[in-house]
């Protein structure tokens, strides 16, 4: 069972706190696409999509979608004043040149070293990893938003990924419904804990070793 709308927005809101004015930000499909909804209306962030848009806004209200405006996942979007369009080669050029400040992605698995696996779903045919490989390797900061465990209750934050990797040692931060984890040279550090859970539950449901920050922040929900 996936996360409900309230939990999904809680993760998106926490990820939005990592973004600063003046940044160029790329968003993956799923929960990351909710992030713009949690920035102030007058923010100065430019959201970029691989299909050739710079300047995406929040999700449109139901019934106000524009069939000509969508993100790389095909979901409807709005655009902000000053937005621009380009072809996908230029959009990928921005990524490969290292111009993207932050990318916020979903994942199937993340290792305690920051390895990312997010493109193969076991037992299903997929078209390929798309732009995730370039984004994971070239963005200045990689943030993962995902459910803490899979449908079988198995931890998705692992000592070592068992699925094919998208990129090695690329993830800087992981945000799940339990808390926020920073990937450090000494391993995973729990920096934020959502108020509905406990440190004991986090450690029990996480395969990777987790250290707790001495400045742990309790996030009210």
Give the confidence band of 74 by pLDDT, cuts at 50, 70, 90.
Answer: confident
Give the confidence band of 123 by pLDDT, cuts at 50, 70, 90.
Answer: low
Query: Which tens digits make up the pLDDT trace of 16-32?
Result: 999 999 999 999 888 99
> What pLDDT does residue 159 have?
97
Q: What is the pTM of this model?
A: 0.93
Answer yes or no: is pLDDT of 221 > 60.
yes
Tokens representing residue 94 in the block: 């921005």
> What pLDDT does residue 72 have?
83
Q: What is the rounded CA–CA span in Å between residue 64 and residue 84? A: 20
What integer best gives the mean pLDDT of the chain?
92
Answer yes or no: is pLDDT of 90 > 80.
yes
Q: What are phi and psi of 174, to 5 degrees?
A: -125, 130
Decide: 48 and 54 in contact? Cβ < 8 Å.
yes
Decide: 107 and 146 in contact? Cβ < 8 Å.
yes
User: Which is it for strands 116-117 and 173-175: parallel, antiparallel or unpaired?
Assistant: unpaired
Handedness of CA 53, 32, 188, 164 (dihedral sign): negative
The average pLDDT across 194-218 equals 96
Catalytic, 50? Answer yes
* 50, 112, 134, 147: the active-site residue: 50
C-beta atoms surrounding 42 within 10 Å: 6
CATH topology of domain 5-34+99-219: Glutaconate Coenzyme A-transferase (3.40.1080)
Q: What is the rounded CA–CA span in Å between residue 212 and residue 91? A: 38
Helix (H, G, I), strand (E, B) or coil at 189: strand
């Amino acid at each position: 069972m996936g996360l409900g709308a309230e939990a999904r927005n809680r993760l998106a809101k926490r990820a939005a706190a990592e973004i600063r004015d003046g940044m160029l930000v790329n968003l993956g499909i799923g929960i990351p696409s909710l992030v713009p909804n949690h920035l102030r209306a007058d923010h100065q962030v430019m959201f970029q999509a691989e299909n050739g848009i710079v300047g995406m806004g929040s999700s449109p209200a139901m019934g106000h979608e524009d069939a000509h405006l969508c993100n790389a996942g095909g979901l409807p979007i709005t655009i902000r004043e000053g937005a621009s369009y380009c072809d996908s080669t230029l959009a990928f050029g921005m990524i490969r040149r290292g111009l993207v400040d932050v990318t916020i992605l979903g994942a199937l698995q993340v290792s305690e070293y920051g390895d990312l696996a997010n493109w193969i779903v076991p037992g299903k045919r997929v078209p390929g990893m798309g732009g995730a490989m370039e984004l994971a390797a070239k963005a200045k900061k990689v943030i993962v938003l995902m459910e803490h465990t899979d449908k079988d209750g198995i931890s998705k934050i692992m000592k070592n990924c068992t699925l094919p990797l998208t990129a090695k040692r690329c993830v800087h931060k992981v945000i799940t419904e339990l808390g926020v984890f920073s990937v450090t040279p000494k391993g995973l550090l729990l920096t934020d804990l959502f108020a509905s859970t406990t440190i004991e539950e986090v450690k029990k449901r996480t395969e990777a070793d987790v250290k707790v920050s001495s400045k742990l922040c309790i996030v009210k929900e």
